[in-house]
């Protein structure tokens, strides 16, 4: 906006403001009603859905699902879209950071004086696209399968299968029909990686996968079962 | 011989009146402009005619303050106003105009603020019983949930309040985006808003660990790992969050203080700045409205 446009805006705004009503009681009545509605929604959600509490945190045994609050699903699911491991940092930090910087600087690169959404097609379309993308990713996250089931037929590996199922791997990885696609698929890891490499990855994983070093230290047998099971997937 | 009265301390000097404010005294002028004295600009006061020299000031002042002191404040509001002189400010806020066409979309900001206040209140009650030690955290949450009167209800309100606040803040941001409200002269308010958005999401993240159940714990491990994967600063931020290179007892108390002291303090301060700008600049009119008188005015100027 140049000075002329700024002046025009200020003049027009002061007239529209002059034509308006006073904040009290008109605007505050609407704000107050909205506050009451907000309160009621919170109370209804609380009464209907309660406050669940999972089993106590335990850094060694691992029947966990590393699922964030639902409003972070869209960030979490970016990992599903960006596949190659070397690009993981793009999904975890790169894309969110770029989006955030764009959002922060919005008033500095969109400087046209036009405010009507119908006359700003680029901005309006970009806004709608962002909302749809976030909604889609959130939905993907919500529909992601339960992380504690493996229906794979792998004869003779019951212990390992159970250890893997209860360790939350499927919160991020797919094995056969189950699990999520945030990390690489594990259905055939055995063919891709030797046993030692699998064990090494579990102890010293690439970000953002959590490490299983504690499990290895405190329950080496279970850890070994897990590695055996994974190595047998071919 | 008559000595001049000593100057009054600053706090006791009468404030300049604003249009529509109650006269602090009987309304005689205590000086003219340009001599650093307080001017009374109320309509109907003889101020501004430049006749009386300021030498006569002290005497007139004395009269004026006598009047002011004799005035009996009515009720609590009057008592407060006599001491704070804030009624013109409050009045200015309450009776400021909001533009024509202001609609329900404009309530989303104040609703977000209300949700924040609700979070603060329920959070304070949770903090009375919560214990941020790894061996105690989970137990104190179970205690709140199962034993305390309305404990589960307050915990639920805090949990669902966070969801509601996040939804409201996104809706509010969408409103200001589609209405073009981030444009001149409100750019700074948009920037403050984006920081508020980040802080609000950080509240959700830091609070998720506190009940210390499996889901929250491992989600936080992954979240901190995600942080660590950022180039350059990533590992340092992750170490700061964990209080070291591993999850320990420090991590939990660190998250607790971030969640209940650092971020809420920042949010409260920034909401203050945000609202100051809202009151100072006014809220936008809906972008599809055009001022009817604008054209007429331009014509007149010609
Ligand atoms: C804790 C979070 C926030 C609170 C409590 C808050 C509060 C408010 C309130 C009460 C208003 C007055 C008008 C209205 O309600 O629409 C307002 C206006 C505004 N807010 Fe926020 N806000 C928050 C977050 C944000 C965010 C995330 C953004 C955008 C990134 C933002 C940008 C703006 C802008 C640009 C205005 C001026 C709107 C206009 O003049 O029409 N705010 N805010």
Q: Please state, in angstroms and rounded to a whole number, the distance separating the CA atoms of residues A152 and A164.
A: 12
- The yes-or-no verdict on residue B199 having pLDDT over 90 is yes
Lowest average pLDDT, out of A30-44, B81-95, B214-228, goes to B214-228
Higher-confidence residue: B246 or B200?
Answer: B200
Q: What confidence score (pLDDT) does residue B25 get?
A: 47
Q: Please state, in angstroms and rounded to a whole number, the distance separating the CA atoms of residues A88 and B226.
A: 9
Q: Measured from the CB, is residue B189 less than 6 Å from ligand 1?
A: yes
Torsions phi, psi of B178, nearest 5?
Answer: -70, -25
The answer to whether A152 touches A163, Cβ cutoff 8 Å, is no
The CATH number that domain A65-152 falls under is 1.10.287.980
Answer whether A33 sits within 8 Å of B107, measured CB to CB: yes
Nearest to A167 by CA among A184, A177, A179: A179
The answer to whether A168 touches A147, Cβ cutoff 8 Å, is yes
Chain A residues whose CB is inside 8 A of the B187 CB are 107-108
Domain boundaries, given as residue ranges, for chain B? 106-292
Q: What confidence score (pLDDT) does residue B44 get?
A: 45
Please name the residues in contact with B196: beta carbons below 8 A apart, sequence gap of 6 or more.
B169, B267, B270, B271, B274
Of A130-144, B57-71, B106-120, B237-251, where does the model show the most confidence? B106-120
pLDDT tens digits, A98-156: 999 999 999 999 999 999 999 999 999 999 999 999 999 999 888 875 544 455 555 56
pLDDT tens digits, B13-70: 666 656 655 555 444 444 443 444 444 444 444 444 444 455 556 677 788 888 888 7
Give the relative orientation of helices B187-209 and B249-257 as an angle to the nearest 10 degrees: 140
Residue B190 pLDDT level (bands cut at 50, 70, 90): very high
Residues B26, B30, B34, B37, CA torsion sign = negative
Lowest average pLDDT, out of A7-16, A213-222, B43-52, B214-223, goes to B43-52
Higher-confidence residue: B102 or B249?
Answer: B102
Minimum CA–CA partner of B193 in chain A = A104
pLDDT tens digits, B150-160: 999 999 999 99
- When scoring B108, B182, B215, B234 by the number of chain A Cβ atoms within 10 A, the one with the most, hence best to mutate, is B215
Answer whether B180 sits within 8 Å of A120, measured CB to CB: yes
Q: What confidence score (pLDDT) does residue A59 get?
A: 64
Which structure tokens are listed for A179? 């699990």
The CATH number that domain A154-232 falls under is 1.10.760.10
Domain boundaries, given as residue ranges, for chain A? 1-53, 65-152, 154-232
Residues forming a β-bridge with A56: B213
Q: What confidence score (pLDDT) does residue B7 get?
A: 65
Chain A residues whose CB is inside 8 A of the B211 CB are 53
User: B137-151 burial string, b = 16+ CB within 10 Å, else e?
Assistant: bbebbeebbeebeeb
**CATH superfamily name and code, B106-292:** Cytochrome Bc1 Complex; Chain C (1.20.810.10)
- The count of CB pairs under 8 A between chains A and B is 265
Q: Measured from the CB, is residue B45 less than 6 Å from ligand 1?
A: no
The answer to whether A156 touches A163, Cβ cutoff 8 Å, is no
């Amino acid at each position: 906006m140049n000075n002329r446009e700024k002046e025009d805006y200020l003049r027009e705004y002061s007239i529209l403001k002059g034509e308006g009503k006073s904040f009290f009681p008109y605007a505050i009545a609407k704000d107050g009603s909205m506050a009451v509605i907000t309160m009621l929604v919170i109370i209804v959600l609380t009464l209907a859905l309660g406050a669940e509490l999972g089993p106590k945190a335990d850094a060694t045994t691992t029947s966990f699902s590393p699922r964030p609050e639902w409003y972070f699903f869209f960030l979490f699911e970016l990992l599903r879209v960006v596949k190659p491991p070397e690009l993981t940092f793009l999904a975890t930090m790169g894309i969110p950071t770029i989006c955030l910087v764009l959002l922060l600087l919005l008033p500095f690169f969109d400087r046209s004086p036009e405010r009507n959404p119908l006359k700003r097609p680029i901005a309006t379309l970009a806004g709608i696209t962002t909302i749809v993308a976030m909604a889609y990713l959130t939905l993907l996250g919500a529909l992601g399968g339960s992380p504690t089931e493996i229906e794979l037929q792998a004869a003779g590996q019951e212990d390992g299968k159970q250890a893997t199922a209860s360790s939350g791997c499927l919160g991020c990885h797919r094995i056969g029909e189950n699990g999520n696609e945030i990390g690489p698929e594990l259905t055939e890891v055995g063919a891709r990686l030797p046993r030692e490499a699998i064990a090494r990855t579990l102890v010293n994983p690439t970000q953002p996968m959590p490490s299983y070093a504690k499990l290895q230290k405190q329950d080496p047998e279970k850890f070994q079962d897990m590695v055996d099971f994974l190595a047998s997937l071919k | 011989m008559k000595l001049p009265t000593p100057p009054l301390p600053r706090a006791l000097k009468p404030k300049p009146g604003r249009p529509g404010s109650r006269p602090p005294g009987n309304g005689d002028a205590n000086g003219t402009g340009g001599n650093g004295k307080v001017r009374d600009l109320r309509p109907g006061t003889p101020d501004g005619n430049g006749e009386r020299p300021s030498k006569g000031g002290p005497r007139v002042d004395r009269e004026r303050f006598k009047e002011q002191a004799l005035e009996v404040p009515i009720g609590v509001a009057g008592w407060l106003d006599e001491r704070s002189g804030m009624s013109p400010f409050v009045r200015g806020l309450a009776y400021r105009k909001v533009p024509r066409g202001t609609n329900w979309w404009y309530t989303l900001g104040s609703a977000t603020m209300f949700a924040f206040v609700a979070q603060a209140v329920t959070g304070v009650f949770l903090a009375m019983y919560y214990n941020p030690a790894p061996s105690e955290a989970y137990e104190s949450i179970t205690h709140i949930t199962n034993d305390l009167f309305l404990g589960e209800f307050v915990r639920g309100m805090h949990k669902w309040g966070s969801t509601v606040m996040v939804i409201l803040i996104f809706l509010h941001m969408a409103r200001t985006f589609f209405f073009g409200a981030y444009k001149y002269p409100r750019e700074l308010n948009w920037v403050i808003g984006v920081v508020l958005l980040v802080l609000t999401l950080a509240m959700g993240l830091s609070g998720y660990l506190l009940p210390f159940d499996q889901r929250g714990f491992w989600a936080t491990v992954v979240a901190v790992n995600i942080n660590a994967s950022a180039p350059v600063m990533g590992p340092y931020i992750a170490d700061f969050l964990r209080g070291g290179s591993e999850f320990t007892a420090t991590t939990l108390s660190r998250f607790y203080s971030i969640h209940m002291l650092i971020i809420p303090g920042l949010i409260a301060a920034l909401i203050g700045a945000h609202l100051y700008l809202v009151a100072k600049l006014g809220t936008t009119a809906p972008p599809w409205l055009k001022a009817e008188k604008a054209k007429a005015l331009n014509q007149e100027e010609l």
